[in-house]
Structure formats: structure tokens, C-alpha cells
A and B are shown apart, each in its own frame.
Chain A
Amino acid sequence: MSLNQSRMGLCALLMAVLFTTAAVSIDYSSSLKAGKAELQSAGPLAFGPDGILFVGDSVGAAIFALATEDTVSSSPGRIDISGINEKVAALLGTSADQILINDLAVNPASKRVYLSVSRGRGPDATPLIVRVDASGKIEEFSLDNVKHARVTLPNAPDPDAKDRRGQSLRMEAITDLAFVDDRVFIAGLSNEEFASKLHSIPFPFEKTGNGTSVEIYHGAHGRFETNAPVRTFVAYEIEKEPYILAAYTCTPLVIFPVSSLTAGAKVLGTTIAELGNRNRPLDMITYEKDGSRFILMNNSSRGVMKISAENLGSYEAITERTDIRGVSYETIDHLKGVQQLDRLDETNALILVSTDSGSLDLKTIALP
């Protein structure tokens, strides 16, 4: 074999390796460009692959993907910070009543906690991302020069455009988002018409408006079909197929396969539980414990609920009024005032909880 032949063979081998690698992994960062991420508001957060943080910007009617480049666990461990609202406010040179902590998300790669924050409570509030680690250090994640991408919400009201009568009062509040199966799913709620819109946008973002929006209907004991807004949702895998498990503003817990969410489809979700009056779902996480799968859900008035997530795929929808309201659940009574929830690691969750004194604490709790 000549030297040239050897080189060609080596090149071919290298090409084959490269192509094989390309075929099995997506370069999620390819669409992210360095520069200032011009968020108009910072709402719901969700982590995707490679430390990419997705931020819902309701005011800007957009989703941002931010490369945190925070992919190494620096100081893992429990995160317990009293008065996180006062401390974040102090970082921003103001008092706790002048900020809002809108959401939190744990970076699964580094175990740092990211908070979306508004400095100010009026319409001109400054959006920021703040992060916290187990050492208690609180710092800003600067948006000034960060690799990022922005995509507008499908069919959302354009924040810069006024209609022909000069009015622009309609907005869509992003209530939750998640990265599932190479797509960002976004639950939105209009401040005018009452409807359920679940948007799905492929990631990496390709172009503006390449997402789809579907309406999700669900039954109430099989009789009255509604399309109320999704409050929060979580990805859930059943027999290797991704599902969305969604909690509605009107209390049912509904499941539907991701594959059903095609453009223009009317999706009828399966109601698997009703969580009763005054249940106001805020966040959900899924986890395994002692070989069983569970969902942990916090809501503003009933504390935290632990819901059995076994065999959800074969669960029969609630079709008539019975005393058994779908899957079984229990309320963790001592966990009151939990405003935000995310999974910290395999055995712990992180909560943002309000105390009687009015301050907010970040606390690590063992998954129940």
C-alpha cells in the first residue's frame, strides 16, 4: 500500500467516523450565536442538553436558548438558602418587594440552580437570570455576551406590532416549557380568549415560526369536553415512547403521546386523575423510588402531592363519576407554600418555599 493509499484510507476512515458521529449526535449549539440575549421578560425555565437553558419570554412572545456552558458539576450537594428573595434582591441593589422570582430550574449537568428574576414589578422590569450553587454563592448569569438563539412563539401576538387600531393588549403568558424529543414544548395562556395552546418548536431552532400549535381537549368524566389551558406539564416515557403529562388549570391530570401533537391536530388527552377542589398545580417532576415511578406536584393551596405513575400507558380514562378519581395520590402535608419545584438529583428535589415571615427559602428535600 502506497503512502497516498494509506492517507486516503485514513481519510476515509476519519470521514466514516465523523459521519457516524454526526448521525448519532446532534450539535445542539450550532444554532447559538454569541451576543446579547435581548430578553424582554424572564419566565419559565427548562434545561435541555449540553447545559442549554430555555427561557420563556412572555412579553417578547419568544423562547430563548442560552448556552450556559455550565456542564461540569463544581460543588454538588444540598442547596439550602434562607431568604433567597432578599439575597437576590440585594445582589440587584434593591429590596425583596421589588423583585419577583418567576421560576427555577436545576441544571442537571452542574447541579447549579438557575432562577429567572424580574428586577422591578412594573411593565419595565429588568429580566435577569441568577444562579446559585451548593456553596451558597449567588451570581448573575450575564446575558450580555452569551451564545444564544431566539425563536418567536407560533401564532403569538407580535409584541412590536399594533393592530390597525393601534391596540396591542393581547399577550400570551407562557405558563411552562420543557425539552422533549428534540423539541421545546410550551404551554401558553392568552390574556383574552380562553383556549389551550401547546406549542412545539424543533430545536435547534431553524427559523421563526417553524413550530406548531395544537389544541388539547380533555373530558370531565367523559361527558363534557373542554379545551382549558395547561398549567404545567412534564415529559414522561412509556415503553420508550415520549408522552406529555399535563396538569390543567381546572384540575384534571391528562396524558397524551408526543406523537399525537401534529400541526392542526385536535388532540384528545386521556384524563387519568382529578386532583380536586383548590388544587392549583404549579410544577411537576417525575422520579423513581424503590423501583416505582412517581410524579411530584406542588400546588399553591394543597402542599405537595405524590402521585403514582405506574402503568400510566394502560390506564383507562376516567369516563364516569366514581369515588376513585383515577391514579392514586397522597398529599405531603408538611410541605406547604412550595412555589417552585425541580429535581436536584436522583434522590432529592429542590423547592422554593415561602415562610410565615414572608421570605422565600431554597430548600433541598428528599424525594418522598
Chain B
Amino acid sequence: MPRFISTVTSIGSHEARVLWGTSLRVARLFLSFKSVLVCVGILTLTILSTSGLPSTIAIRLENQQGAHPIFKVVGWDQIGQISTQSARFGMDQWQALFAVYVDSGSFEDALPPMLGSYRIEDEALIFQARFPLQPGLRYRAVFTSASEPIILRFEIPKSEAIVSTTVEHVYPSTDRLPENQLKFYLHFSAPMSRGEAYTRIHLLDERGEPVDFPFLELDEELWDREGKRLTLLFDPGRIKRGLVPYEEVGPSITEGENYALVIDRDWRDAQGSSLKQDFKKFFSVIAADRETPDPKSWLLNAPQAGSLQPLSVEFPEPLDHELLMRLLEIMDPQGNFVEGSIQVDRHETRWQFTPQEPWREGNYSLSVDTTLEDLAGNRVNRLFEVDVFERIEERITTTTVSLPFRILSE
């Protein structure tokens, strides 16, 4: 009679071993257990036949936490024969012999095998997964020899989530926004995951009721490369006069009302952890802004020569924070860019530039890219929406506007 022995020990790798005899009855018995061998450590399953010394087949998982984990079939007595044929194997033939599957979800039986590459090395059949294994997920390795399949299921332990990501800033920072406010910038302390932004961001009115579809929901969420800044546009159809959404349901936010922008803590960061806490920004709404920013109205405070004091530029209204960081430049008397750092504060109504080298006496200029926008998307050279009947706008076609200032000696 065959003996059926299983032992579990705990060391740092996975293995299922079958001492494989000639008894198909035993193999069927083995399969009748449906191979529910979820293991954390070594699981050894031994089947001894009644005749002679058994051959031993085992599935091992190596480099479990690596970028390309390895699943290895060892102890297969036909490996030499396969080795000579394997040069002609296509992926389908390899997978018919040995395949690894994700072992979760509602389509378990219809899931395709995982991507990876095959080879025979040191008398072992090796499948090297293309991608890392995911903590918390179950996998199933199936070795199908000439007789019966050997199946090993295992689970990658879930690592403890570190919850530390927060919303660091939301721009505009002011709590008074025009009715035709165009966008928010949300800055996070760590990279975030894509694909769930619009289910995690809510706009609530002063009764706490959610505003229906206030934002432009794009599949291509507008992140920066690091995944730490999201640009959130209000629905432009509810900003532009004359369009059906604006005429029928009105703007997303209404003058005189109060709102809260709410960011759910359930939003996952790129590591899969939720945010540390909810974030709320409260604001009230003022009249729509339908005027272009006018650099002539800006107040420049020039420092003295020889100092490293910042040049300060004050605006009569808040401007787009991110564009202020990029579209204003200081030019020296020779027309070269001046290197330095920028600070934007006072709710984006003040821009300051601190040079790397002390100011020198002479005529400098502030160069303004005319694509600079105010909170309502009105550019220096163009309103957000142009009334073509009234033609109230004089279009500026240049790409920059230059504001001269003089650095005087002490």
C-alpha cells in the first residue's frame, strides 16, 4: 500500500515535492485533494510507491520578492529528453508543460498563464516570471507531465501598509474663487495611483450636498511625471457662456455660495496605501472674472545693487500658481536669463525672485510669457472666452511682454 506523508516546515522558500512512483492510483488520490496547498515556508508532500525507489518531482519558488521570480521544476526524470526538444518549443508548448497562473478572482478557470520565459538549466525546468509577484495575491503553478499534473498554490504575504501620504497643497490657495474658476492643482507628498481621481474628489455645497459633475473627467488624468501633482479642471462646458451645459444647469460653482473641495482618504497612493487623512478646502465664490491679467498694473519692487534681496512683483489678483513658477523670467542688462529661485505667496498675488548672484546696477526686465493665466484661465494675451460680437479685446500677438525695472546702486 502506498503511504501518503505531508510535512510543513517554515523556512524562507516554497517547495512542493512529490515522490513520484508508478502508481496512478496514488496520483489520482493526490489530485483528489485538489492540491490546496497554500504554503508559507516549505511544504513537502511525499508519495511513495510500492515498487522500487521513487523519482522525486518538486516545484520550487525562488527569488520570490525579486523583479523576476523563478518557478523551478526539479527531479523530473524526463528533463533530458525535453531538453533536446526544447529548442523547437514555442510558448504554447512550454505552457502546456508548466505554467503559472494568478489564482484569484471570478474568472479563475479562464485566466491566461502569466508572462515569462522558459529554459532548462541544471536539470530543472525553469519559468522566470516577467513581473514581480504581488503581495496579497494567490498564485498557482501547474506542472503537467506525461502522467498527471502537479499543482501548487501559494500566497505571497501582504506587506504591512505604511500610511503616510498626504495632500500637501491645493492651489489656488485663496478661499475666494471666481465663478468661472478654471482649475485646481492638488499636490501630494508622494506619488499617487492613477485611475480613481474622480471618485475620490468631491465638491460639496454649503448644505453638504455633492455638486453633480463639477469637473472635467478625463481618462487621461492630468498628472505630472512624478505622479505627485494632479490638475483638476472644472467642466469648461459649465464655464463658457452660450454653451448648452452653462445655459441649462449653470456654472459648477455659483457667486455668493460656499463650497468644500473634499479629497477622500481612501485614495490610494502608488504603493497602494490610502491617504493619511481626508483633506478639505473651504471657499466662497465671487463674481466671474472676464478680464485679462494686465502686466501694466503689476507693482515691481526692485532691490538695491549688491544685495541678494528678492525682486518682488505684486498682482492685483491671484494668478495661476504653477504658471507663475514657469512663465516669468528675469533678464539682465545684456538680455541674459538671470539664475535664481522663485517664491510665490500671499495667495498667489506676489511673486518673488532671489538671484543666485548679487544684483548689479543697471536696467533689468521682467519677461512675462503671455500664456500666463489668472484663476479663470484668462491669459495675458487672450480672454478665456472671446466675445466676437463686441470685440472688446485687443489681441496681443506677442509671446512675451517685457516689464523693465532698474537696479540702483546703494
Contact = CB atoms under 8 A, between A and B. Distances in A.
Given A90-B102, A94-B137, A173-B218, A250 B193 contact: no
Interface of A: 43, 58-59, 82-83, 86-87, 89-96, 98, 100, 102, 118-126, 137-140, 159, 163-165, 167-171, 173-175, 189, 191-195, 219-226, 228, 231, 249-252, 274-280, 282, 300-301, 321, 325, 339, 357, 359
Interface string B347-384: 00000000000000000000000010100010100001
A94 B132 CA distance: 9
Contact of A86 (B106, B240, B248): B106
Nearest to B221: A173
29 contacts: A59-B225, A83-B105, A86-B105, A87-B110, A90-B105, A93-B130, A95-B137, A96-B105, A119-B131, A121-B193, A121-B194, A122-B192, A122-B193, A122-B227, A122-B270, A123-B226, A124-B270, A168-B224, A169-B225, A171-B224, A192-B320, A194-B384, A220-B242, A224-B386, A226-B384, A249-B237, A277-B248, A280-B216, A321-B247
B1 interface: no
Contact of A87 (B112, B218, B248): B112
Interface residues of B, number: 80
Contact of B326 (A163, A174, A220): A163
Given A100-B194, A118-B194, A175-B220, A223 B242 contact: yes
Given A194-B377, A250-B240, A123 B191 contact: yes
Given A193-B379, A274-B244, 8 more contacts: A83-B106, A90-B112, A192-B323, A193-B373, A194-B182, A194-B233, A223-B242, A279-B237
Contacts of B326: 163, 167, 170, 192
B322 interface: yes
B134 A95 contact: yes
Given A93-B114, A122-B191, A192 B131 contact: no
Given A93-B115, A123-B227, A325-B244, A225 B388 contact: yes
A282 B218 CA distance: 9
Contacts of B137: 94-95
Contacts of B269: 122
A321 B107 CA distance: 51
A90 B248 contact: no
B229 to A, nearest CB: 6
B111 A280 contact: no
Contacts of A277: 237-238, 244-245, 248-249
Query: Which of B223, B339, B389 is most buried by chain A, counting CB atoms within 10 A of its CB?
Result: B223
Interface string B122-149: 0000000111111001010000000000
B206 to A, nearest CB: 23
A325 B231 CA distance: 31
A220 B240 contact: yes
Given A121-B193, A123-B223, A194-B373, A278 B114 contact: no
Given A93-B102, A301-B213, A159 B244 contact: no
Q: Which of B101, B225, B240 has the most CB of A within 10 A?
A: B225
A224 B222 contact: no
Nearest to A170: B326
B267 to A, nearest CB: 11
B322 A228 contact: no
Given A93-B133, A220-B240, A173 B248 contact: no
Given A191-B224, A224-B242, A251-B237, A91 B388 contact: no
